[in-house]
Structure 1
Amino acid sequence: MLGRETERRALAALVERAASGAGGAVVVLGAPGIGKSTLVAEAAARAAGHGVRVLTAVGVESEEDVACAGLHQLVHQLRDGIDDLPGPQRAALRAAVGLADEAVPDLYLVGLAALTLLSDAAVKAPLLVVVEDAHWMDRASLDVLGFVARRIESDPLALVVVTRGLDDRLGGAGLPVLALDPLTDEVSGELLDAVAPGLGPQVRRRLLEEAAGNPLALTELPVALRSVGGAYALTPGPLPLTERLERTFTARVSRLPVDTRAVLLLAALNGDGTLDECLAAAARMLGTAVGVAALGPAVDAGLVAGWGMVFRHPLVRSALHHAATAAERQAAHAALAAELQGQPDRQAWHRAAATAGPDEHAARDLDSTAGRALRRGGVAAALGALRRAAELTADPSARADRLLRAAELALESGQPAVAAHLLAQARSLDLSVRDQGRAAWVGIALVEGSAQGEGTATAELAELAVGLAAGEPVLGLRMLWGAVLHCFWGEPGPDARRRVAAAVDRMPVDADNADLVALRAYCAPVERGRAVLESLAGQLERSAEDPEGDQLLGGAAVTVGAPALASRLTARSLDALRAQGRLSMLARALCVQAGSAARLGDVRAGHLAAEEAAELARETGQPLVHAMVHAIRAQLAAVCGDPEAEAWAAEAERTALPGGARPALAIVQMARGQAALCQGRYGDAFGHLRRVFDPADPAFHPWLRFYGVAELVEAAVRSDSAEAARVLLEELTPLGEPTPSPALLCGLRLGHALLSPPSAAEPRYREALDAVPVDWPFERARVHLALGEWLRRHRRPAESRVVLQAAREVFDALGASAWAERARQELRAAGASSPRRDLAAVDRLTSTELHVAQLAAQGLTNREIGERLYVSPRTVSTHLQRMFPKLGVTSRGELAAVLGAAMTYAEDVV
């Protein structure tokens, strides 16, 4: 432990936090032999001394593709608490770790179950969870552990993840990293002198040079030097340190008896298998009985710890692998496959490893393993199984099927480069018409969000989808979505859009199918707008039994310019998506909810949805959704006059611009335009907003621009660019004929009023006011403000004060501070005082605190709130403790009255 004082203090502080009731997580990162395990072992001993229970799990290379293998290790140690979990969590966790033969509804529900299980155990005694060799742990387990790690700040629970490399599985979790660097020259010399005193100067210098500050090298190379004369430890010439250390262990292995080497090789290949399995497989491989005594020489050689199957160091496992010939490894895998009856997944991987050429039997076994992995939520494990199955498949048709399924899973798990490689392999084969369609869908999905995709390919994919839908409606709809989303995110061109819309119309599914309604909205919201709005209104009348459908329909409503309808449809999906653990879809639903609130001017609701959507989009790996949420945050900030608007806009632009994600870029420019408009920078406002209407600009969007029509016209009128606004309205007015889009029609009517001569303006303003839907109070206040400004400028102050007062009250109630300030300025100019509204107590809460407060006010317990928000009950308690002083209350029983008063005021005004 020489030279590790800083790192030791950091881990000691983490342990002490857990012992005192607060939690946290850290990744211990470093090269092989750098001292990670020794450092963590000391922390574990310290934890035990503080009364902290220590749980361990170890990643094993041969089980990297066995879904939830690492999670199973942890759950097994806490199995007594599984029955106390809420029903959906209990079922999900049991299915994930193989205790029940059921499909896992969503891996995030498994994450919540693991969090609850650990949190409940930590209430009884603080916990330290140590995950060793995380670089070899299966992805599903690491995803669950990352989910847990981000939510344990308020629990007496510490998580330490030990790894050689910070790959995307850990780097994306955003955990603090404790990186172990090589020891300094001075400390290296001190350690070497302690383990190998009396070395000659030349040998000592050579060992220090070769070890390069690696503690394991400093302790093992002298041993190798003594035992084998330095032949492996000091091989002349350059040699990577890890390989040199492996050779020191290999040298010891080569001197062991045959049965000992066999047992060790089997243990290295068998992952977390038992000693009995390894001994039985060794007997099968050697054709003679092998007993536990075979381990004796390995213990004496310092390769294993005691008489179990625990290697002294992970490099021992690697050394055993390299010391064996290919034939020996295949024989060992075959022996293990024969012994692992009743364990089909492990058996399938060993059978595949024992196979050198094509083998359909082994391929089918791995295909079945992929299916079981998917049922347990192990997408990455299923991907690995299908890739290996494809390698073992000789039949071109079966090979293409497995390659395409693997490519689809690679897309789902956020690995586009892998998906592209698999797609290229599949396309090199003679594909059936069905597989050509699947390949086309994967290809279009790879460029989703890019404006550089080819319009012809998009249209052809849509037409192919219709042909396939007659026999395979699920596949046909999925392919059609790929084409339609390219129309939404990118710009395939008007001809491709028409062909896609025609394909949607020919889709052989029920007219009220949620997918079909949403597809029409996304690809042709003007041409099909009237039918879509009628369908959406009808969908609102049915019972809320399809959260996925409601999420799609909410997005469709935004696209056709009906934000209030979008908010209602999406709101119906939220509770069910939370209960099912479908956090990827929940992130998209909340994004729609936040965007609708921004357009409705409901700042409080918008912030609440946007904050949660941003966290979930990041956690579920959806960068385009994340960019959209940041753009919406910029819009919300602009509405309430928050100077952070530009920071959010720039953050969204950084993600959206490289991929040409037009919807996010359009919202960014509308946010900037609205902020400039409210600040009186009319020229800047016009410049930002005009980009959304310019087909040559990356921020152009043919439908989302409808939400910015009135703002653009006002900015144009006030910056001497009225003629440009008139040209624009002439272009857009005909679009109002085929669609009753509220956003478009409201924008056109107010735009025409703003451009009208004095003699015709007032009737136009009144028409615009009458046309605003009753469920869009912000838009009504927006028209009131414009009418009040016109009345004041035309020397009718008394009349202007009435409508300006109405506008200001609504803006205040919604939290649209920037617009409220404009109304106040006009009121003062009209001769009326209008003091600023004091900030309500509820507005001092963070979005998360407000969400917790609302649920607590409904009577939910901390545990029930935790289930809804995917946090631990103790975290809920922490939020409540923080918010009570802000609200001036002392108990949760007072929350309903405080929140109710704020909401009632807003509802009364609106």
Structure 2
Amino acid sequence: MPLYGRKAELAALADLIADLRGRSDLQDRGGLGDSGGLPHCGGLRNGGGVLIRGEAGIGKSALVAEAASAASAAGLRVLTTTGVQAERDLAYAGLHQLLYPVRAAVDTLPARQRTALRDALGLGEDPEPAATQPGTPPDGAVSSGAAQTGVFLVGLAALTLLAEVAAARPLLVVVEDAHWLDRASADVLAFVARRIESEPIAMIVTLREGEPSPLLEAGLAAMPVGRLTGEAAAELLDATAPGLAPPVRARLLEEAAGNPLALTELPATVTGLGTTGSGGSGGSGAMGAMGAMGTTGAGGLGAGGSLVPLGERLERAFTARYATLPAPARTALLVAALNESESVAETLAATARLLGPEPLTGTSVPAQPLAGAEVEILVPAVEARLVELGGGTIRFRHPLMRSAIPAAAPLPDRRRAHLALAETLGEQPVRRAWHRAAATAGPDEGVAAELDRAAAEARRRGAAAAAVAALEEAARLSEEREGKALRLLRAAELAVESGRRDVAERLVAEAREVGLSPRRRATAAWLLSGFEDGVREDVSRVRELAGLAASIAAEGHVEPAVRILWGAAMRCFWSEPGQDARRLVLSVADDLPLPARDPRLVAIVAYAAPFERGESVLGGLRELAGAAGADPEVDRYLGSAAMQVGAFDLAARLSAAAAPGLRAQGRLGLLPRALAVQAWTSARLGDLATAVPAAEEAARLAGETGQPFMYGLATAVQAEIAALRGDSERARALADEAERVALPAGARPVLATVQLARGLAAMSEGRFDDAYADLSRILDPTDPACQLALRACFLAELTEAALRAGRVAAVRDVLHGLEPLAASAPSPALHVGLRYARAVLAPEEEAEELFAAALRADLTAWPAERARLHLAFGEWLRRRRRAVESRMHLRTARDAFDALGLAAWGERARLELRGAGESSPSRDPDAWDRLTPHELSIAQLAAEGLTNREIGQRLYLSHRTVGTHLHRIFPKLGVSSRADLARVLQTYERPDE
């Protein structure tokens, strides 16, 4: 039957498939109709996808079926998965269904990806892990996004696998009823959807209107599907049920209100047959139709006079059809509806247990001999158009049919059906546990323990949402209050890890209602602080967390205490709790029974007291940095600590060491944190070749993993980079975006970096009053842009802006206040800035020696600061009519700025050189001007000799996408080989000092 009233939607899907196939005549080979597309579905070229949204029964599946049929006819491969409500708590169930036809290709994946995907699909050989005991206390939430570790590594593996499959034939991935997918599968498919723009892959997703799904944010083109027009609805009804009496036809059109499923299913209640027939329009038929539609004589009105929702009316119609089936067929259909698998064999095996000579105790279905429950038992359900059989599977014709049948069955029957399925699934412990739980009305510690093991398995596979659901159900079945409360707290901790704040808050509230000891109450309160590093919380929480850490440590729980104290220290970075709170954090840290060089302890001290304890922190960092690369999480801790104490060169190196390990482990929740620190410190050092791609990737991954303030920080760094390159308009736009994220919550590091970017942009445009106003906010303790550790990092910029704006007296006061701090704090950034400031502000008789002293300092790792000193000294010499001496310094500055890509500063050096009587060649556009940050990252890795596959593994892309990017990069840089690429990029490396 043709699809009525869907011409535009069919045309858009035809375009998607034609673009994927690379042909414009798809409709001539069984396509979807006239091409032309929809404005809101355009732009789908050689990949991409579409998200079809609409209410139940609106025809989403029919559109997908047409698209899949056309794709197959055009020679494309089609892989399909369908979300099933019963599978929502089974980790990777949807992904398993999608990839099962191509599972043999899993063995061709890189080792780490292969292991991750085999585990996710249940193909691994690892033994099932033991469950955590109910009495085990939560040991502290890990960093936001850590529970996504498995999901992202599985996502990369799935992407690689699909790309390999698509290399042989273009691939259409169909995801139906995405709102019922298990969360792990939905996250993986959203990950894939974001990365197929350059692949011969397209994705079509259907989602019920109003339902949430990670795929909503996956960048798929939106295709909203509404109800049929009156004309199209009439055409469909007449084709489905010709010959209806006019009153019945009118009533059906009114009740269906343009919903295609209603138009095709409700007429069956009139004819008593299927959806075809030639009559059945008499009075009794009309009354039958009214009853099936849920009327009480008023037509579509419930007992209270309110209109019965269409979905409910359809379910009643399906229930009525179900009720006419023979008892064995009803039993089999109930089992099939409750089973999360479409396997006919499983359904028949469980049905045989119910209908055998000795049925399960308590069932209300009749007991009668049934030899193995043959497939013929389902024939009446097929004839009633409730299910379809084929290929060893049983599929309901619509999800509403699947949900209507259990709702119509008595509770005892549902429980016995679940028990029959549990017995059938003895070799599948996770599914067995869920069916046993569904059949259990009261507390049952045995079933709860099975669910504990299911939660442990889900967590091992990186499926936090499935683990949370299993623990929550285990809590319901717990026999002891303590076990119930601790299972709820464990579930809440996992919800925190996966970024589900609403779930975590609900679980913590339930645990409190059960009853908690004082320490457990404190732990419950702390759990919710794992979100966004506590940025949105009151600063008083720092003291509260420090006290909690001390009390837990006193009870001998050192590891949880360290995690809690780390949370308190992080708040000292994002906000300003005051010196008393910082001292309390230090006091608790000092009392922890840990080695002084424990990386976590070093980082906590750095966050709490970046200046007072700077010397001990730097000593610890230098000692521990020798082992960089051994543990990426340790390197991340140390990189963050180095940033706090102004050791930007060390911070950049340690963060760079952390990134590869975090990538390899799939820890995309932690990776943007390391990248953001690397980008921030590299930009300060002038190493834009590193900072540009690091900031871009940090912002992209932070957005993808739900870390808004890390996204804001990385975006603010991008604004700073744009200002340094002389792109003031872009700098302002990015700074505004970062500020929008950070200002409502007062995220101080983001706001400080925003002001730096604005100050640099103003300076490049000669607006020095504005630049001074922007930069001075960073040192104002009453301003939310003031951050304790970072306030001493921008002294050179502040001093120059003040000098040119005529605010020398004001900046001298600021610097005078920092001198005592410099006397006791070894912060490299502070001393680099002060040496510059002393020289440019010094009296004439002292300035030259101070410039010379500043240039004698070891600035090997600080090329931008060294170039800035040369520029300032050259300017000072030229203004004293020492033009010949100035040229050497100005030339050195120009060449360094050009090499670093600091275009705005390079132009200033050129202007000064012209004033000194020397012209400069124009600066040609470099790699950063020609390439996007993403392309620059790929180009750099290719220049290092990495293969496309290796680059893809590092950047979480398929190797074919990498190849597509390189095909774009080569012409932009005027090269034709990787060897040429390396040569060109070497031109833009930092200058030798």
Name the TM tier (shorter chain).
over 0.9
SS at match of 1:158: strand
Q: Tell me, yes or no, if the aligned pair for 1:67 and 1:373 is still in contact at 8 Å.
A: yes
Judged with a 3 Å threshold, the aligned counterparts in structure 2 of structure 1 residues 274 and 452 are, in CA distance, closer, same or farther, namely: closer
Deviations along 1:801-844, one digit per CA (max 9) or x if unpaired, are 22222222111110011111222222223333234311235742
Q: Tell me, yes or no, if the aligned pair for 1:458 and 1:486 is still in contact at 8 Å.
A: yes
Paired residue for 1:71? Answer: 95
SS at match of 2:887: helix
Q: Tell me, yes or no, if the aligned pair for 1:663 and 1:699 is still in contact at 8 Å.
A: yes
Paired residue for 2:292? Answer: 232
Deviations along 1:639-695, one digit per CA (max 9) or x if unpaired, are 111120011111111111122211111110111111112222111112211221122
Q: Tell me, yes or no, if the aligned pair for 1:631 and 1:648 is still in contact at 8 Å.
A: yes
More helix by share: 1
Paired residue for 1:118? Answer: 162
Instruction: Give 1:786's match in structure 2, choosing from 855, 858, 872.
Output: 872
Paired residue for 1:531? Answer: 616
SS at match of 2:205: strand
Kindly, what percent of the aligned residue pairs are identical? 54
Paired residue for 1:174? Answer: 219
Paired residue for 1:107? Answer: 151
Question: Which runs of 5 or more structure 1 residues have no equivalent in the other structure?
Answer: none
Q: CA deviation at 1:437?
A: 4.5
Judged with a 3 Å threshold, the aligned counterparts in structure 2 of structure 1 residues 625 and 614 are, in CA distance, closer, same or farther, namely: same
Kindly report which structure 2 residues correspond to 1:342-357, keeping only aligned pairs within 5 A, or say none. Answer: 342-357=427-442
Instruction: Give 1:686's match in structure 2, choosing from 746, 753, 772.
Output: 772
- The whole-number CA distance in structure 2 between the counterparts of 1:149 and 1:447 is 26
Instruction: Give 1:838's match in structure 2, choosing from 898, 919, 924.
Output: 924
Paired residue for 1:620? Answer: 705
- The whole-number CA distance in structure 1 between the counterparts of 2:113 and 2:93 is 18
- The whole-number CA distance in structure 2 between the counterparts of 1:135 and 1:786 is 61
Query: Letter of the aligned partner of 1:274 in structure 2?
Result: S
Range moving further from structure 2, 281-290 or 121-130: 281-290
Deviations along 1:79-132, one digit per CA (max 9) or x if unpaired, are 221111111111111111111144996322211111111111122222222122
Q: Tell me, yes or no, if the aligned pair for 1:53 and 1:126 is still in contact at 8 Å.
A: yes
Paired residue for 2:281? Answer: none
Paired residue for 2:113? Answer: 89
Note if 1:815 corresponds to 2:815: no
Q: Tell me, yes or no, if the aligned pair for 2:896 and 2:991 is still in contact at 8 Å.
A: no
- The whole-number CA distance in structure 2 between the counterparts of 1:785 and 1:856 is 35
Q: CA deviation at 1:42?
A: 0.9
SS at match of 2:899: helix
Q: CA deviation at 1:739?
A: 1.7
Instruction: Give 2:659's match in structure 1, choosing from 562, 574, 582.
Output: 574
Range moving further from structure 2, 340-349 or 502-511: 502-511
Instruction: Give 2:19's match in structure 1, choosing from 13, 17, 20.
Output: 17
Instruction: Give 2:178's match in structure 1, choosing from 121, 128, 134.
Output: 134
- The whole-number CA distance in structure 1 between the counterparts of 2:454 and 2:88 is 13
Query: Letter of the aligned partner of 1:520 in structure 2?
Result: V
Paired residue for 1:154? Answer: 198
Paired residue for 2:28? Answer: none
Q: Tell me, yes or no, if the aligned pair for 2:68 and 2:172 is still in contact at 8 Å.
A: yes
Instruction: Give 2:976's match in structure 1, choosing from 884, 890, 902.
Output: 890
Note if 1:222 corresponds to 2:222: no
Instruction: Give 1:298's match in structure 2, choosing from 346, 357, 381.
Output: 381
Paired residue for 1:280? Answer: 349
Q: CA deviation at 1:200?
A: 3.9
Instruction: Give 1:212's match in structure 2, choosing from 246, 254, 257.
Output: 257
Paired residue for 1:380? Answer: 465
SS at match of 1:28: strand
SS at match of 2:881: coil
Q: Tell me, yes or no, if the aligned pair for 1:610 and 1:632 is still in contact at 8 Å.
A: yes
Q: Tell me, yes or no, if the aligned pair for 1:95 and 1:376 is still in contact at 8 Å.
A: yes
Judged with a 3 Å threshold, the aligned counterparts in structure 2 of structure 1 residues 138 and 117 are, in CA distance, closer, same or farther, namely: same
Paired residue for 2:991? Answer: 907
C-alpha RMSD of matched pairs (Å): 2.1
Deviations along 1:144-181, one digit per CA (max 9) or x if unpaired, are 11111222222222222222145241122222222211
Q: CA deviation at 1:761?
A: 3.0
- The whole-number CA distance in structure 1 between the counterparts of 2:840 and 2:349 is 87
Paired residue for 1:46? Answer: 70
SS at match of 2:788: coil
SS at match of 2:388: coil
Work out the number of aligned pairs and report it: 906
Note if 1:189 corresponds to 2:234: yes
- The whole-number CA distance in structure 2 between the counterparts of 1:683 and 1:907 is 32
Kindly report which structure 2 residues correspond to 1:557-706, keeping only aligned pairs within 5 A, or say none. Answer: 557-642=642-727, 643-706=729-792
Instruction: Give 1:395's match in structure 2, choosing from 455, 474, 480.
Output: 480
Query: Letter of the aligned partner of 1:744 in structure 2?
Result: L
Question: Which runs of 5 or more structure 2 residues have no equivalent in the other structure?
Answer: 24-45, 130-147, 273-287, 302-306, 360-366
SS at match of 1:26: strand
Judged with a 3 Å threshold, the aligned counterparts in structure 2 of structure 1 residues 384 and 53 are, in CA distance, closer, same or farther, namely: same
Kindly report which structure 2 residues correspond to 1:373-522, keeping only aligned pairs within 5 A, or say none. Answer: 373-432=458-517, 434-446=519-531, 448-450=533-535, 452-455=537-540, 457-469=541-553, 471-522=556-607
Judged with a 3 Å threshold, the aligned counterparts in structure 2 of structure 1 residues 734 and 443 are, in CA distance, closer, same or farther, namely: farther
Note if 1:554 corresponds to 2:614: no
Judged with a 3 Å threshold, the aligned counterparts in structure 2 of structure 1 residues 686 and 858 are, in CA distance, closer, same or farther, namely: closer
Q: CA deviation at 1:313?
A: 0.9
- The whole-number CA distance in structure 1 between the counterparts of 2:412 and 2:538 is 48
Query: Letter of the aligned partner of 2:206 in structure 1?
Result: V
Judged with a 3 Å threshold, the aligned counterparts in structure 2 of structure 1 residues 446 and 211 are, in CA distance, closer, same or farther, namely: same
- The whole-number CA distance in structure 2 between the counterparts of 1:738 and 1:632 is 29
Note if 1:363 corresponds to 2:448: yes
Judged with a 3 Å threshold, the aligned counterparts in structure 2 of structure 1 residues 590 and 338 are, in CA distance, closer, same or farther, namely: same
Note if 1:769 corresponds to 2:829: no
TM-score normalized by structure 2? 0.88
Query: Letter of the aligned partner of 2:331 in structure 1?
Result: A
Q: CA deviation at 1:255?
A: 1.7
- The whole-number CA distance in structure 1 between the counterparts of 2:800 and 2:978 is 47
Q: CA deviation at 1:234?
A: 5.3
- The whole-number CA distance in structure 1 between the counterparts of 2:487 and 2:823 is 49
Instruction: Give 1:338's match in structure 2, choosing from 409, 415, 423.
Output: 423
SS at match of 2:316: helix
Q: Tell me, yes or no, if the aligned pair for 1:866 and 1:873 is still in contact at 8 Å.
A: yes
Query: Letter of the aligned partner of 1:423 in structure 2?
Result: V
Query: Letter of the aligned partner of 1:231 in structure 2?
Result: G
Query: Letter of the aligned partner of 2:21 in structure 1?
Result: A
Paired residue for 2:811? Answer: 725
Q: CA deviation at 1:514?
A: 1.7
Q: CA deviation at 1:777?
A: 0.9
- The whole-number CA distance in structure 2 between the counterparts of 1:717 and 1:391 is 69
SS at match of 1:803: helix
Q: Tell me, yes or no, if the aligned pair for 2:150 and 2:463 is still in contact at 8 Å.
A: no
Q: CA deviation at 1:382?
A: 0.6
Judged with a 3 Å threshold, the aligned counterparts in structure 2 of structure 1 residues 352 and 258 are, in CA distance, closer, same or farther, namely: same
- The whole-number CA distance in structure 2 between the counterparts of 1:446 and 1:748 is 37
Query: Letter of the aligned partner of 2:174 in structure 1?
Result: V
- The whole-number CA distance in structure 2 between the counterparts of 1:314 and 1:283 is 25
Paired residue for 2:320? Answer: 251
Q: Tell me, yes or no, if the aligned pair for 1:842 and 1:899 is still in contact at 8 Å.
A: no
Deviations along 1:859-892, one digit per CA (max 9) or x if unpaired, are 3332222222221121122112112212222233
SS at match of 1:100: coil
